């Protein structure tokens, strides 16, 4: 209709829309409202004259209106707006149509013509004249007709019901302050080993905070080309290494890689802060001259380039991007990657997060926020979630990557399955940049939506790896939200991996997801160290305990007997 009215004025277009909003006769409401047919000079398609008369009779007989319905359209005529509008119709309009047109106040002997400043007026044509004019127009090939009743019944084919695709974890890779292999990492967690110590990579004597969960020894040998290792930011080196380790852990050998549909393989690994070291070095070089700047400083500073470089290295052509949502980055990436698989857009996804912000500008920025612990004399005791003496979080660095795969795809290639990803949720407090909402509504909503999406009842949840960063406000609000959602769960265990590895920022969710998968695999839950004097709120008796032992809501489950 839009194409046939492109020449009309705004008023005419409005009238077309208004008139076309009605239907004619007692049409079956389940049938399509209209079918467009085009007329040509050589061959006329559409309704026969007899059919037009039949449809005309349905609209009105002897001044009687059926269901008070109207159908109208426009066509070109230089004499009368009424005949102009009627000439497009493939059948005779009903009486109600003409009376409604006249009631607009623009029509009559002079009404509409004087509205446009014309001195010509035309008497209303009788029915026979209008019918003859209609036949002449339709034979000339200058009109579009609207058939209220289609010649044949249109049937809509329903899409066959598709069983929802299931997503499983088939590989894990990480670079962390407690080891670069999942088993080494988790054994250290079970032993209660802390990865927090004094910062060694730069002089931090002028900073009030001198500690972090720093990666002391790390090598890219066998994982990243030496040439790239010298140019890339550490967050990219961590990401590439962890990603390739996840592939190796998942049994994606060269032979398996050759069999994969690369268009259904994607990478979604985010970063909270991106290439801060590369960007910081570029600023320092700019103080001397732009000629001293690294030509790769811009691309290697962006958060998406790590995923892009890994995808290029693997030749994977599926979904490829990154998400940056601070400490929720990894969980956003994991849930979005799972959704790509569920929707059939991918069969295999590498997902997670990476950050390397333990550098002067990163440390200085968080110090300025007054967010960091200053327990420099005892670094291993600095991160103490839920303890009454906590004084801020401890920065960490590293990367965590999960290999997610569609269940049948994984079974077909004989992959080992660690756990099943059941679902998750995204919410926002919409309250403050860093402070949680006083009522914890964002966290509660996120948990409830995650449970609903995953189809897991809250009574079935027996372990939660909490966000718990060791900040005064954040720990308590999250704890109260957990009480609200799971206060009746007897035997529920809660812990914080950050008590030993600090806050890995954008990598936190993925590294902690690996800890959750390892707990499912081994049946052992790591302790929450440094909880010596629980906060008064936490000391309140509940049915669950913090094992002593993120609105980041994602649900995993063991895949026993599947």
Residue 322 near residue 306 (C-beta atoms within 8 A)? yes
Q: At what angle do helices 508-522 and 329-342 cross, to 10 degrees?
A: 70
Q: At what angle do helices 508-522 and 182-190 cross, to 10 degrees?
A: 80
**Residue at token pair 């990154």:** 322
The single residue of 59, 265, 327, 333 carrying the catalytic annotation is 327
Write out the H or E segment, with its range, that includes residue 269. Answer: strand 265-270
Angle at 486 between CA 481 and CA 489, to 5 degrees: 155
Residue 68 Rama label (left phi>0; alpha psi -120 to 50; beta): left
Q: At what angle do helices 234-249 and 305-314 cross, to 10 degrees?
A: 40
The single residue of 467, 485, 526, 555 carrying the catalytic annotation is 467
H helix and E strand count, the chain: 20, 16
Q: 3-state SS of 455-492?
A: CCCHHHCCEEECCCCCCHHHHHHHHHHHHHHHCCCCCC
Residue 40 near residue 155 (C-beta atoms within 8 A)? no
Q: Which two tokens stand for residue 65?
A: 């209106």
Is 485 catalytic? The answer is no
How far is C-alpha 164 from the geometric centre of its chain's CA atoms?
18
Selection from 554, 516, 455, 448 nearest residue 164 by Cα: 455
The Cα–Cα gap between 449 and 442 comes to 11
Is 161 catalytic? The answer is no
Neighbours of 66 (CB within 10 A): 15
Selection from 268, 274, 355, 353 nearest residue 316 by Cα: 268
Selection from 341, 182, 325 nearest residue 267 by Cα: 341
Report strand pairing: 144-147 vs 35-38: antiparallel
DSSP string, 243-262: HHHHHHHTT--HHHHHHS-G
Report strand pairing: 493-495 vs 545-546: parallel
> Is residue 540 exposed (0-12), middle (13-18) or buried (19+ Cβ within 10 Å)?
exposed
Residue 339 near residue 369 (C-beta atoms within 8 A)? no
The Cα–Cα gap between 468 and 549 comes to 14
Residue 112 near residue 121 (C-beta atoms within 8 A)? no
Q: Please, which residues bridge with residue 380 across strands?
A: none
Phi and psi of 293, rounded to 5°? -75, 145
The single residue of 180, 340, 409, 503 carrying the catalytic annotation is 503
Is 204 catalytic? The answer is no
Task: Provide, for the chain, the percentages of residues in helix, strand and coil under a 3-state DSSP scheme, each rounded to the nearest 5.
Answer: 40, 15, 45
DSSP tag of 506: G
Q: Name the residues annotated as catalytic.
A: 327, 467, 503
């Amino acid at each position: 209709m839009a194409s046939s009215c492109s020449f009309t004025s705004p008023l005419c277009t409005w009238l077309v829309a208004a008139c076309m909003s009605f239907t004619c006769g007692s049409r079956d409401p389940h049938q399509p409202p209209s079918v467009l047919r085009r007329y040509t000079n050589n061959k006329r398609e559409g309704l026969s004259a007899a059919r037009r008369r039949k449809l005309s009779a349905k609209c009105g007989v002897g001044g009687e209106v059926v269901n008070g319905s109207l159908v109208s359209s426009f066509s070109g005529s230089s004499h009368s707006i009424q005949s102009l509008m009627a000439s497009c119709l493939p059948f005779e309009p009903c009486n109600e149509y003409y009376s409604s047109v006249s009631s607009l106040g623009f029509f009559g002997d002079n009404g509409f013509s004087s509205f446009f400043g014309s001195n010509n007026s035309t008497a209303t044509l009788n029915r026979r004249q209008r019918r003859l004019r209609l036949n002449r127009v339709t034979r000339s090939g200058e009109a579009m007709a609207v058939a209220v009743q289609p010649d044949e019944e249109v049937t809509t084919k329903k899409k066959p019901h598709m069983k929802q695709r299931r997503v499983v974890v088939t590989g894990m890779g990480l670079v962390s302050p407690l080891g670069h292999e999942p088993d080494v990492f988790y054994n250290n967690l079970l032993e209660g080993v802390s990865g927090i110590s004094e910062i060694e990579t730069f002089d931090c004597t002028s900073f009030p905070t001198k500690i972090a969960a720093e990666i002391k020894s790390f090598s890219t040998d066998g994982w990243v080309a030496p040439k790239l290792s010298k140019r890339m930011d550490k967050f990219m080196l961590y990401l590439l290494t962890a990603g390739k380790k996840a592939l190796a852990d998942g049994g994606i050998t060269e032979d398996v890689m050759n069999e994969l549909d690369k268009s259904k393989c994607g990478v979604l690994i985010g970063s909270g802060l991106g290439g801060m070291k590369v960007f910081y070095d570029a600023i320092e070089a700019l103080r001397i001259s732009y000629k001293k700047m690294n030509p790769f400083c811009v691309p290697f500073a962006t958060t998406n380039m790590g995923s892009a470089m890994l995808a290029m290295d693997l030749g994977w052509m599926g979904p490829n991007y990154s998400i940056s949502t601070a400490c929720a980055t990894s969980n956003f990436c994991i849930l979005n990657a799972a959704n790509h698989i569920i929707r059939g857009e991918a069969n295999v996804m590498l997902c997670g997060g990476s950050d390397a912000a333990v550098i002067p500008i990163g440390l200085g920025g968080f110090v300025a926020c007054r967010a960091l612990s200053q327990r420099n004399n005892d670094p291993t005791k600095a991160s103490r979630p839920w303890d009454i003496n906590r004084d801020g979080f401890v920065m960490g660095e590293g990367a965590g990557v999960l290999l997610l795969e569609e269940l049948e795809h994984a079974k077909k290639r004989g992959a080992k399955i660690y756990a099943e990803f059941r679902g998750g949720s995204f919410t926002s407090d919409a309250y403050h940049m860093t402070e949680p909402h006083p009522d914890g509504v964002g966290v509660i909503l996120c948990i409830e939506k995650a449970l609903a999406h995953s189809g897991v009842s809250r009574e079935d949840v027996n372990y939660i790896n909490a966000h718990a960063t060791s900040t005064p406000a954040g720990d308590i609000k999250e704890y109260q939200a957990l009480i609200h959602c799971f206060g009746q769960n007897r035997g529920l265990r809660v812990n914080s991996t950050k008590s030993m590895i600090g806050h890995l920022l954008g990598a936190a969710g993925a590294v902690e997801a690996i800890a959750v998968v390892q707990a499912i695999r081994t049946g052992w839950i790591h302790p929450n160290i440094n909880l010596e004097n629980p906060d008064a709120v936490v000391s309140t008796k509940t049915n669950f305990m913090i094992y002593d032992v993120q609105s980041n809501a994602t649900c995993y489950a063991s895949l026993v007997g599947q």
